[in-house]
């Protein structure tokens, strides 16, 4: 039997009582009320940070209030690839950002995955360029690669540096082309095994279904087969004294005959250009603009916003697929700040909770274990479709979320300092939610404080509340 969101929250609250949590009675009271959080229009700065980034911390909230939401959003679309000096120095200690897949080959896979995850967590936690990191999360999910398939963890280090991050606010077409030449993507989807005599359809199918046109984008099984023929010979460089781990085209494996893709004839004898022609065709296809823009809107404001999807689609077409143009079109819509709340996925929740408490965590092993318990450790989704966005996919992780909130608020996560909480319990709730004490969202949570006087318990209660679980 499928549980409703209300039933799932109540069930998790009961489980939390059984675990002996010190705030269990207050939490049960909180979740027994309607779980939909109140609209955050009373604090648009916090809402903008939660939607366009990974939530507020004290400094970022002050900055948005000073600049105003529209100016801050526009500045975020011009984010550089660089970080503040202290964060850049901390990231530079990670070997996965310094070495090639081949140079990392003697590392245990678990160590490479841990550093990959730590890199993502550190930047999401601490960068002032919050929109950029949210888009890194979006595109990494769109072009999903499972780090534990084969030697995927080693290849993903290069994919992150050369495919996702350089193009994260740029042109969709550039990222699509970079992904098609990524050894991490090609090997993950078995492209290295695709030959003229036995074309492998895995990459061809995901290119059409997930990366470009979408499942209902108008392609057929014949198109999948023809695209697979076009990409035969696209593989990973493994030659002696070559730049191992990069892209290579092997003409001996390529089907050089004529193909027909989505109504376009690709003449015989094209070699590597056959694949390039396919990429150009799908990038300009009307279904691609609809699929990518729709997915972007659903990520930022949820489903059920056809006018916003059309505005973003028009921006895609008008700009030739510029991500920042699509984002600006979305940010100009009322739906961006006023749309219904969206349940945070575990990565979003864990990072936003840490930011809300003003903690300079290191994103290390303990933090990663909590993410795994909640079901969303970075680069660990085995299927090419990426982690799900539907709220129903995450209602079973609420107890793990609340365990994380308790551990975080009480300083029980290794590498993540105990928060320095000050003021009254009501003021702590206000700081966590990023809204005034007398705002409706805060009032609902503070009404459930009961006899709580411990500030860490008050912070944990606020983090566990429906008001914080949504953005």
Residue 20, pLDDT score:
41
pTM here is: 0.92
Q: What is the pLDDT of residues 367-421, one digit of tens each?
A: 999 999 999 999 999 999 999 998 888 888 888 998 999 999 999 999 999 999 9
Whether residue 350 is contained in a domain is answered as yes
Is residue 36 one of the residues assigned to a domain? Answer: yes
> How many structural domains comprise the chain?
1
Question: Are the CB atoms for 46 and 61 separated by under 8 Å?
Answer: yes
Cβ atoms 261, 224 nearer than 8 A: no
Give the number of other CB atoms < 10 A from CB of residue 100: 16
Query: For residue 259, is pLDDT > 70?
Result: yes
Structure tokens at 468: 């914080």
Mean pLDDT over residues 77-90, rounded? 95
Cα–Cα dist 183/244, whole Å: 10
Q: Rounded mean pLDDT of the chain?
A: 91
278 within some domain:
no
Q: Is residue 439 part of a domain?
A: yes
* Residue 356 forms part of a structural domain: yes
**Which range marks the domain in which residue 54 is found?**
5-76+342-469
Distance from C-alpha of 383 to C-alpha of 387, rounded to nearest angstrom? 8
Torsion of CA 384, 386, 390, 392, to 10 degrees: 80
The pLDDT of residue 272 is 97
Q: pLDDT of 137-146, one tens digit each?
A: 999 999 999 9
pLDDT of residue 23: 63
Mean pLDDT, residues 323-350 taken together: 94
| Per-residue pLDDT at 1 exceeds 70 | no
Q: pLDDT at position 39, please?
A: 55
Q: Answer whether residue 69 is part of any domain.
A: yes
Instruction: Judge whether 441 lies within some domain.
Output: yes
Least confident segment among 5-19, 73-87, 148-162, 214-228: 5-19
Position 273 scores a pLDDT of 98
- Residue 425: name the closest of 56, 10, 23, 39 by CA: 23
Is the residue at 190 inside a domain?
no
């Amino acid at each position: 039997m499928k549980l409703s969101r209300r039933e799932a929250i109540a069930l998790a609250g009961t489980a939390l009582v059984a675990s002996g949590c010190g705030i269990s009675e207050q939490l049960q009271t909180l979740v027994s009320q309607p779980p939909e959080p109140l609209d955050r229009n009373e604090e648009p700065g916090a809402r903008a940070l939660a939607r366009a980034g990974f939530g507020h911390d004290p400094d970022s909230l002050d900055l948005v209030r000073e600049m105003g939401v529209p100016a801050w959003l526009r500045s975020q679309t011009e984010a550089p690839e660089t970080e503040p000096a202290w964060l850049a120095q901390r990231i530079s200690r990670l070997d996965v950002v310094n070495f090639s897949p081949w140079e990392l080959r003697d590392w245990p896979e678990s160590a490479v995955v841990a550093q990959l995850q730590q890199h993502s967590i550190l930047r999401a936690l601490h960068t002032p360029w919050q929109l950029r990191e949210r888009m890194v999360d979006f595109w990494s999910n769109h072009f999903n690669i499972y780090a534990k398939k084969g030697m995927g963890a080693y290849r993903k280090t290069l994919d992150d540096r050369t495919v996702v991050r350089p193009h994260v606010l740029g042109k969709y077409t550039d990222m699509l082309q970079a992904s098609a030449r990524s050894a991490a993507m090609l090997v993950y989807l078995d492209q290295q095994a695709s030959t003229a005599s036995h074309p492998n359809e895995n990459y061809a199918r995901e290119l059409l279904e997930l990366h470009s046109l979408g499942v209902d984008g108008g392609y057929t099984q014949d198109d999948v087969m023809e695209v697979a023929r076009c990409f035969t010979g696209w593989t990973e460089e493994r030659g002696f004294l070559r730049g191992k781990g990069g892209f290579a085209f092997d003409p001996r494996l390529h089907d050089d005959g004529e193909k027909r893709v989505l109504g376009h004839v690709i003449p015989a004898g094209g070699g590597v250009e056959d694949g390039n022609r396919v990429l150009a065709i799908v990038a300009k296809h009307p279904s691609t603009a609809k699929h990518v823009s729709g997915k972007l809107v659903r990520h930022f404001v949820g489903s059920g916003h056809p006018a916003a999807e059309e505005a973003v689609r028009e921006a895609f077409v008008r700009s030739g697929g510029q991500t920042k143009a699509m984002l600006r079109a979305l940010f100009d819509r009322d739906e961006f700040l006023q749309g219904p709340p969206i349940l945070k996925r575990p990565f979003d929740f864990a990072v936003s909770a840490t930011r809300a408490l003003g903690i300079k965590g290191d994103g290390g092993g303990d933090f990663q274990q909590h993410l795994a318990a909640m079901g969303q450790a970075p680069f660990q989704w085995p299927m090419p479709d990426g982690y799900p966005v539907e709220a129903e996919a995450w209602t079973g992780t609420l107890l793990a979320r609340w365990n994380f909130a308790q551990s975080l608020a009480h300083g029980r996560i290794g590498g993540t300092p105990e928060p320095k909480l000050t003021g009254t319990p009501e003021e702590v709730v206000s700081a966590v939610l990023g809204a005034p004490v007398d705002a409706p969202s805060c009032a609902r949570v503070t009404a459930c404080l009961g006899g709580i006087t411990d500030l860490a318990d008050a912070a944990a209660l606020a983090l566990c509340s429906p008001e914080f679980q949504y953005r």
